[in-house]
Chains A and B, each alone.
Chain A
Amino acid sequence: MGEVLSVRELSKTYELKKSVFSIRSSKIRALDKVSLKVNEHETLGIVGESGSGKSTLARCVLLLERPDLGEIHFCGVDLLKLKEKELKPLRRWMQIVFQDPYSSLNPRKRVIDIVSEPILNFNLVDKGTVREKVKDILLSVGLDESFVDKYPHEMSGGQRQRVAIARAICTEPSLLVADEPVSSLDVSIQAQILSLFLKIKEERKLSMIFISHDLNVIRFISERVMVMFKGKIVEEGEKEEIFSNPLHPYTRLLLDYSIRGRGRIRGDEDKEGACVYYGRCEWRGKRCANEAPLLYGTENHRVACFLEGTY
């Protein structure tokens, strides 16, 4: 299997000012040397709580935001070396579905306008046949003809998210990034949309990055799993490996909460130079306070923790 995406040591820092007028600012490390790769026809699930850098990662990978450092190779092309003009035609191959279908669709446009815009933008079909093309795509996401001329406010959350998916897949991308696409939906609708993602992935041989805070969702949809905490990857590997043999204390905690529904956490405190998880860790030792562990392990399973492996 070939690589569709390979990201090396991506970092992004945001500056946060105390108030509008203050001169000094504090820095937030949203991404700290994150490396990942996505193979052809594979789904990478990224899990973490809010503020762990999942969304920043998604935005940086698609260059909706420029990372400070790192490399992004998409099908062998080094994206960060390209000029915006050279990048634009490539955007056809990578698309995104956002979390909130209420704000990600323009309320003044009809479904036909929303979905046909990218098609016409990249000259995929000519104007005369675009309506037919849109109908086809809507059908493949489970919306019939009657939706073509509707406005977003006439649809439910699940239907809007289907439109957002239609818009993302209409350019036949090879990589689809889904940023919490089901977390604002009701349970019964969530299940429908998840099955839809699985279906289009099979039909279109897509590679996906699927971001969620819900381990049950991640378990259902992905082949590989990455666990993030405060801008770092703390554990990654094959899905079965991660779920049957979680190594990092944070992953275990997440599993305890979402699968078994119990657990305890201790207070959060930051310490410069320490492991990112130091403040919360139950098993922290002396070494964890002074040194940050690197990801260590095999292709199947890597973890950043001093408790494990040959550290």
Chain B
Amino acid sequence: MEIRKLSVEVMTETGFLEVIKDVDLTIDEGEIYSLVGESGCGKTVTALSVLRLLGPSFRVKNGSVLFRGRDLLAIPEKEMEKIRGREISMVFQEPMTSLNPVLKIGEQTKEMFVVHLGLKKKEAKERAIELLKEVGFENPEKRYHQYPHQLSGGQRQRVLIAISISLNPKLIICDEPTTSLDVASEWEILNLLLSLVRERKMSMLFITHDLHIVENLSHKIGIMYLGRIVEEQKKDNFFKKPYHPYSQGLLRSAFMRGEKLIPIKGSVPDLKNVPKGCKFHPRCDYVMDLCMREEPKPIRIDDGTWVRCFLYGN
């Protein structure tokens, strides 16, 4: 999948505000791409625009999402329906609200097989139980007849993962799938995702704010700040040498540079008061005059690394 120059706006009482701007990202087959950023930076909007699930107040200003040769933003809704779930699927953050509380787990798991593949009830049930087993439930038959409230958060998230992989999608988008879980169940879910991605040869777009997860999970990393991807690197290089001052600050804030803690000053401005020039300049330690006037374009450092910062290049 390839996202090219994607910009999305949202309508507010003061007019249209830019939520994301010129987002470029490419995910190769079998690759795990982690999109990292703080809340409100546009990670989720990016994911939702890929699936065309944005709310009515959002509009895509320009850009394209190429998936296996087609532009997902240009095809008719009918075709998009065939792509959602079958080729690209999504796991959301809240396992508590993403499942229907009055339907049994089994009903919700087999629905995909019935609706998309037109399987008979019995066959769909068998497939669903197989699937529940694959995501690590020890007695899938029992789970099949339980309701969501009888499961823990981690177990619910596993059910959601089962549903999302049921039709063998090529790409799975996970939007902070473990934020509401405990450390222990968190890593259980992550390990499950990792093994599923490997076994089924899927690609994954992983959205998170947690750099510790990213370190253990991804191939490529994109750091997002106020709607822009400010740096992209291969994982190993990123943790060795982050280029953008924001990335460096994030790593220090998250205790990933030893035990010392050096916070980034200031706070994320809201969308109505986005600063001119480089969006990070009011919080940046290396700010120059240029940064206040112009917005930096991506500067390629080497194959697989680029950064939006005037400190690099010419």
- Chain A interface residues (CB < 8 Å from chain B): 49-50, 156, 158-159, 186-192, 194-195, 213, 216-217, 219-220, 253-254, 257-258, 261-265, 267
Contacts and interface: CB of A to CB of B under 8 A. Distances in A.
9 contacts: A156-B270, A158-B267, A188-B268, A191-B263, A213-B183, A216-B254, A219-B259, A257-B183, A264-B188
A159 B267 contact: yes
Interface in B249-277: 249-250, 252-255, 259, 261-265, 267-268, 270
Given A188-B264, A189-B267, A191-B263, A261 B187 contact: yes
A118 B38 CA distance: 34
B38 A187 contact: yes
Contact of B250 (A187, A213, A254): A187
Contacts of B187: 257, 261-263
B184 interface: yes
Nearest to B263: A191
B184 A253 contact: yes
Contact of B254 (A50, A158, A187, A261): A187
Contacts of A265: 184, 188
Interface residues of B, number: 32
B150 interface: no
Given A156-B270, A192-B263, A213-B182, 5 more contacts: A49-B182, A189-B267, A191-B252, A219-B255, A220-B259
Given A49-B184, A50-B182, A261 B267 contact: no
B261 A194 contact: yes
A213 B210 CA distance: 14
A154 to B, nearest CB: 11
B62 interface: no
A263 B253 CA distance: 24
A188 B250 contact: yes
A303 B148 CA distance: 37
Nearest to B182: A49
Contacts of A50: 182
A41 to B, nearest CB: 20
A161 to B, nearest CB: 11
Q: Please indicate which of the listed interface residues B215, B259, B261 has the most CB atoms of chain A within 10 Å of its own CB.
A: B261
Sorted nearest first, the 8 A-B pairs with minimum C-beta distance are A191-B263, A191-B253, A186-B38, A49-B182, A192-B263, A188-B264, A216-B255, A261-B216
A191 B213 contact: no
B138 interface: yes
Nearest to A257: B183
Interface of B: 38-39, 138, 182-184, 186-188, 191, 209-213, 215-216, 249-250, 252-255, 259, 261-265, 267-268, 270
Given A49-B184, A50-B182, A262-B216, A220 B261 contact: yes
A187 to B, nearest CB: 5
A221 B261 CA distance: 10
A253 B210 CA distance: 19
Contacts of A220: 255, 259, 261
A185 B249 CA distance: 16
Contacts of B188: 264-265
B209 A258 contact: no
Contacts of B209: 186-187
A304 B138 CA distance: 30
A188 B282 CA distance: 14
Contacts of A187: 38, 209-211, 250, 253-254
Contacts of A254: 183
A158 B187 CA distance: 27
Contacts of B186: 257
Contact of B263 (A188, A258, A267): A188
Given A257-B186, A261-B216, A262-B216, A195 B255 contact: no
Nearest to A194: B261
A216 B270 CA distance: 29
Contacts of A186: 38-39, 209, 268
Nearest to B184: A265
A152 to B, nearest CB: 15
A49 B252 contact: no
Q: Please indicate which of the listed interface residues B183, B191, B261, B263 has the most CB atoms of chain A within 10 Å of its own CB.
A: B183
Contacts of B255: 216-217, 219-220
Contacts of A192: 263-265, 267
Nearest to B225: A188
A191 B261 contact: yes
A142 to B, nearest CB: 10
Contacts of A264: 188, 191
